[in-house]
Amino acid sequence: MTTQISNRDRLFTLLGTIITQFALGSVYTWSLFNAQLADKLSVPVSRVAFSFGILSLSLAIASSLSGKLQERFGVRKVTICAGLLLGASLSLTAYASNLILLYVFAGLLVGFADGTAYLMTLSNCVKLFPERKGLVSACAIGAYGLGSLGFKYINMYFLTNSGLESTFNIWGVIAMVMVIIGGLMMKDAPKQAPQTAAATPVRDYTLAQAVKSSQFWMLALVFLTVCMSGLYVIGVAKDIGESYVHLPMAIAASSVAIIAVANLSGRLVLGVLSDSVNCIKVIAIALFICLAGVSALLFAEQSMFSFYFAVVCIAFSFGGTITVFPSLISDFFGLNNLTKNYGLIYLGFGIGSIIGSIVASVFGGFAATFYLMLGLLVISLIITLTIKLPGSQPTSLPRSSRNNLPA
């Protein structure tokens, strides 16, 4: 029988998750520190910037492991520990005296702390609101996006007035306190129990069962595709505008603000839409929009309008997809093991964050990555239009509700 949890505890967990996600999103202000860290360590900016790639990969790996930590210790304890590690890692980063220490403190440790709390708290909150999964995802992941915007101004203020080391220390304390407060407000979501034949049966795939289905790997490819497209374009948008579209620096740089708005809009619009439209259809819409943006970069006459159109489409699609995907995975494989099942797929976030840059480096330019994105988007769109729910339960439970998807 499913353990009940009060509405008050559900709402407190939602609020705690939003506070935590806002603090965790602060890591996306990392580019503010590249130049000053490069001067301090006397190394090229590109080497300092590589620490964010390590952070992204570490974040994804930690996300895939956080489900087991929650099972053993509970969401509250793991979140509090993640907050302590995040604060300590940022403070240690302030005193990194060489690149190796920077990669360890800012890359491995900050990424691990952020990833441990990110997916676990998001999935736990979604499980508490099965009737409003899209809206809850939009609130939580929207807070993560807003965190990068809010901390941009916080960190810029202290960088300007207090210096590099003080800023890392202050940032670490603020983020740590927010994550700890958020963690103290959380409750673990109860497990869904098998129901009688008269009731709607519960999908309940363990990770070992989910990975045996072709649907799991098809959805993993879709997620990798969108993450690669979104993270690559978001990360080098200014450079694309200047070097590829040949726009003035000021116009190209303004894409950063445009991307932030489009990214947040995608999280809110597609997240809310997924509560009334099948998640797989919402992902198909997101892929079509992303495809339009990439096509504009490759085939449209290059101009300010086509550039802005492209980055808006890609950022909107990326934000919406990572918001809807937890709900999509729960539709296919159930809520009970969402953190583990989505955690493995979430490795695509870390892998996708580096693939685009590698392809561009090997083949000498943006176009090669854009063509790879185009091909993967076409394949992913076909997958979303044809994929079916797993044909039968891997356990003794009754066949699942189809959620209006084709069987």
| Mean pLDDT, each 10-residue run in order, the chain (407 residues) | 74 95 89 84 82 84 87 94 96 93 94 93 88 83 84 89 93 97 93 54 81 94 93 80 86 79 87 88 96 95 92 93 90 86 86 82 85 96 93 46 41
SS3 state at 315: helix
Q: Angle between the 347-363 and 45-73 helix axes, to the nearest 10 degrees?
A: 160
* Residue 364: Cβ-neighbour burial (10 angstroms; 0-12, 13-18, 19+): exposed
- pLDDT at position 395: 46
Residue type, 258: I
- pLDDT at position 79: 97
Cα 7 to the center of its chain, rounded Å: 27
SS3 state at 279: helix
Rounded CA separation 81/183 (Å): 9
SS3 state at 246: coil
The DSSP symbol for 201 reads P
Rounded CA separation 94/112 (Å): 18
- pLDDT at position 355: 86
**Dihedral (C-alpha) 16, 315, 334, 6: value to the nearest 10 degrees?**
20
- pLDDT at position 391: 67
Do 350 and 218 meet the contact criterion of CB atoms below 8 Å apart? no
- pLDDT at position 64: 82
* Residue 36: Cβ-neighbour burial (10 angstroms; 0-12, 13-18, 19+): middle
CA angle, residues 7, 9, 12, in degrees to nearest 5: 110
Q: Which residues contact 276 (CB under 8 A, 6 or more apart)?
A: none
The DSSP symbol for 395 reads S
Instruction: Give this prediction's pTM.
Output: 0.76
- pLDDT at position 123: 86
- Count of CB atoms within 10 A of residue 200's CB? 10
Closest CA to 311 of 374, 240, 371: 240
